[in-house]
Amino acid sequence: MFSLFHRKLRRALGPTAAASPTSPAGLTTPQSAKSLLAAPHKQKLLEQIWQCTAVSRPQFDKLYLDPIRRYAELVQFLPASESQHHAYSGGMLDHGLEVITYALKMRPSRLLPSGAQPEVQIAQAEAWNAALVYASLGENLGKIAIDVQVEYSDGCAWHPWHGPLTRPYQFRYRKDREHRLRGTASCLMIQQLLSREILDWLSAFPELWASLIFHWSGHSEHTGELGALITQANQASVAKAMGSGPINAMSAAKHALRHKLLDSLRYLLASELKLNQPEASDGWLTREALWLVSKNVSDKLHHHLLSQGVDGVPEQEIAVLDVLLEYGIALPTADGEAIWKVTVTSERGWLQNFTVLKLLPALIWNGRARPVAFTGKVTVDLLEGPSAAPFTSDDPARATTATETNKPATITIQPDPSLSDTVSPDSLDPLRNQFGAPSKWPEDSESAPITECAPSAEEPSVPDKYAKPSGEHFMEWLIEGVRTQEIIMNDDQALVHSVEDTLFLVTPGIFQRYAKAFPHFACISKRQGQSDWEWVQRRFGKMKLHRIQANGRCIWTCELSGARRTRFLHGYFLKKHYGLISDSSSNNPNLKLVTPGSEKPHTTLGNTR
Q: Map out the domains of the chain as residue ranges.
A: 40-146+179-247, 252-400, 462-593
Give the mean model confidence (pLDDT) for residues 457-477.
59
Residue 606 has pLDDT above 50, yes or no: no
CA atoms of 161 and 168, how far apart (whole Å): 17
Largest CA distance in the chain: 90
CA atoms of 491 and 207, how far apart (whole Å): 38
Burial tier of 452 (Cβ tally within 10 Å: 0-12, 13-18, 19+): exposed
CA atoms of 236 and 250, how far apart (whole Å): 4
- DSSP class of residue 323 equals H
**Does the global pTM surpass 0.75?**
no
pLDDT of the residue at 237: 82
Please state, as a whole number, how many other Cβ atoms lie within 10 Å of the Cβ of residue 38. 11
pLDDT of the residue at 133: 94
Residue 505 has pLDDT above 90, yes or no: yes
- Which range is least confidently modeled, 124-133, 385-394, 563-572? 385-394
Which class is 40-146+179-247 in CATH? mainly alpha
Percent of the chain with pLDDT over 90: 16
What are the distances in angstroms from CA 177 to CA 167, 193, 329, 532? 25, 24, 32, 63
Burial tier of 243 (Cβ tally within 10 Å: 0-12, 13-18, 19+): exposed
Residue 549 has pLDDT above 70, yes or no: yes
Sequence-distant (≥ 6) Cβ neighbours of residue 172 within 8 angstroms:
5, 9, 148, 149
- pLDDT band of residue 578 (cuts 50, 70, 90) is confident
Question: For residue 272, which phi and psi values (nearest 5 degrees)?
Answer: -125, -40
Percent of the chain with pLDDT over 70: 73
E strand segments, 487-561: 496-499, 502-506, 556-561
Residue 395 has pLDDT above 70, yes or no: no
- Model confidence over 268-281: pLDDT tens digits? 888 888 898 877 78
- CA dihedral for 236, 241, 246, 252, sign (positive or negative): negative
CA atoms of 7 and 13, how far apart (whole Å): 10
Residue 409 has pLDDT above 60, yes or no: no
- Which range is least confidently modeled, 26-40, 135-149, 257-271, 388-402? 388-402
- 460 or 469, higher pLDDT: 469
Burial tier of 219 (Cβ tally within 10 Å: 0-12, 13-18, 19+): middle
- 416 or 542, higher pLDDT: 542
- Model confidence over 82-115: pLDDT tens digits? 777 888 888 899 999 999 999 998 888 778 888 7
Sequence-distant (≥ 6) Cβ neighbours of residue 230 within 8 angstroms:
99, 103, 132, 135, 136, 139, 215, 223
- CATH fold for domain 462-593: Thrombin, subunit H (2.40.10)
- Model confidence over 508-538: pLDDT tens digits? 889 988 888 887 777 777 777 778 888 888 8
Please give the distance of CA 602 from its chain centroid, rounded to a whole number.
Answer: 43
Nearest to 479 by CA among 593, 360, 574, 401: 574
Please give the distance of CA 350 from its chain centroid, rounded to a whole number.
Answer: 39
